[in-house]
Amino acid sequence: MDWLDLPAANAARGFIELPGSKSISNRILLLAALANGKTLVRNLLISDDTAQMLNALETLGIKINQISKNDYSVEGAKGKFPVKQADLFLGNAGTAFRPLVAVLAIMGGHYRLSGVARMHERPIADLVNALRQLNANIAYLGNEGFPPLEIKPAELQTKAISIKGDVSSQFLSGLLMALPLTDKTTTIIVNGMLISRPYVELTLAQMARFGVQVIQKNWQHFTVPAPQTYKSPGEIIVEGDASSASYFLAAGAIGGGPVRVEGVGIESLQGDIHFADALEKMGAHIRKGKNWIESSSPISDTSRQSLQAIDLDCNHIPDAAMTLATTALFAKGTTTLRNIASWRVKETDRISAMAKELRKVGALVEEGKDFIRITPPATALTPHAIIDTYDDHRMAMCFSLVSLGVPLRINDPGCVAKTFPDYFKKFAMIVHS
């Protein structure tokens, strides 16, 4: 295993152009592949997760051309993938795996979908159960309730279906994107709590860009008129990734700043732009524009002051909330991040991984089923900790912030390739000693 030694830095300031949003990139690729007409996708995120989606779509017979580094043209297949039989490997990309299961279940072909070992531990039963209500033919090839899956052709029955929303919003997003392609209108009822709601809003917004409408009564009741056709909007520019922005904004709030991220701003639909509001609650100075956000440390008349701890329900920002956990190391008091049960079924058990690694730098940490509580060490952070990253890009990126206090080693830094391959190069551009 390789590692990266980060020296201690005492300031953060600068400007970062964000890579494209993972969530938007993979939605746009899928919808462009299903659309009528050719779509030019600009500023696509180039990372493991988007590579999984691109490879899968090409395997399914979609013609995709790379025009320049981040610009791709996608030839839409008018709602039907040309290839009717395929084995797809999707790594650990939830934004590829979940929507593709939903779309392929209604495609009338024979498909197998698998991923890395961790993907085979990430639940998918709620989505499979919803699709089975439509009479989709889906079998578990390994453990019941988890990938890998096999999908076979089936005579679909359209009707009202229900889905649970408390494990992952990606199941509902997948259904919403797939159902317009069926023959008849379906109603979806969400049973119980819907977590990570901004991602469902993002799904509906991307579908609307392709001319497809969903009638929504509230967040528990959706009617998907069908058949509908996705129509290429011609050109789409993918906005910057708001979750990736969180590390730089936190650095600005901890290390003086200003740090400005360019690519997302007040008009963004990505839920993770609200990470900036959480930083503001901690005392950071935040400025926002149409296409940028900037952070600086709290300033008093006389000196730079430290951040304050917060107690926050993080259900709306599940990914950026992880950044709050390491930012809490630089805040006065005890920070509690609540309503984060989904962390346990993502790239790793993120509550347990975060607790274990935070303790290595001297924090006092309490964890529960759906919360984490962090008190920074009374004196100073422990220098030279060796941080394990659990093949979780966000663990690696979050812990880079510790270098604003003390030097540390980050094991397997390459795991950032899932969403941000040149993260550490960009991080080095804004930290100064």
Binding site residues for phosphoenolpyruvate, as ranges?
22, 94, 122, 170, 350, 394, 418
Using the rule CB under 6 A, is 199 a contact of ligand S3P? yes
Residue 363: name the closest of 331, 319, 322 by CA.
331
Q: CB under 5 to 8 A by kind: which of ligand S3P, ligand PEP, none does 195 bind?
A: ligand S3P
Rank residues 45 and 408 by Cβ distance to ligand S3P and give the closer one: 45
Using the rule CB under 6 A, is 206 a contact of ligand S3P? no
d(CA 362, CA 86): 49
Using CB under 6 A as the binding rule, the residues of this chain from 225 to 264 that contact ligand S3P are none
Binding site residues for 3-phosphoshikimate, as ranges?
22-23, 27, 168-170, 196, 319, 346
Rank residues 92 and 186 by Cβ distance to ligand S3P and give the closer one: 92
As a three-state string, the secondary structure of 338-396 is ECCHHHHHCCCCHHHHHHHHHHHCCCEEEEECCEEEEECCCCCCCCCEEECCCCCHHHH
d(CA 37, CA 33): 9
Chain residues binding ligand PEP by CB under 6 A are: 92-95, 319, 346-347, 394, 419
Rank residues 158 and 389 by Cβ distance to ligand PEP and give the closer one: 389
**Under 8 Å between Cβ of 419 and 45:** yes
Q: How far is the CB of 49 from ligand PEP (least distance, A)?
A: 6
d(CA 372, CA 390): 18
Q: How far is the CB of 23 from ligand S3P (least distance, A)?
A: 3
Rank residues 294 and 319 by Cβ distance to ligand PEP and give the closer one: 319
d(CA 236, CA 259): 27
d(CA 74, CA 36): 10
Note if 319 is an active site residue.
yes
d(CA 161, CA 175): 10
Find the catalytic residue in 241, 319, 388, 392: 319
Q: CB under 5 to 8 A by kind: which of ligand S3P, ligand PEP, none does 394 bind?
A: ligand PEP
Handedness of CA 229, 202, 169, 243 (dihedral sign): positive
Using CB under 6 A as the binding rule, the residues of this chain from 159 to 198 that contact ligand S3P are 168-170, 173, 195-196
Interacting residues of 46 by C-beta distance below 8 A, sequence separation 6+: 19, 69, 70, 421
Q: CB under 5 to 8 A by kind: which of ligand S3P, ligand PEP, none does 92 bind?
A: ligand PEP
Using CB under 6 A as the binding rule, the residues of this chain from 111 to 170 that contact ligand S3P are 168-170
Q: How far is the CB of 243 from ligand PEP (least distance, A)?
A: 7
Q: How far is the CB of 67 from ligand PEP (least distance, A)?
A: 25
| Cis upstream peptide for 227 (omega within 30°) | yes
Q: Which of 14, 257, 318, 362 binds ligand S3P (CB under 6 A)?
A: 318
**Under 8 Å between Cβ of 340 and 369:** no
Assigned token pair, 8? 């201690």
Rank residues 23 and 389 by Cβ distance to ligand S3P and give the closer one: 23
Which residues of 54-185 form beta strands (DSSP E)? 63-68, 71-75, 85-89, 110-114, 137-140, 149-152, 160-164
> Which residues are near ligand S3P by CB under 6 A?
23, 94-95, 168-170, 173, 195-196, 199, 318-319, 342
The catalytic residue positions are 319
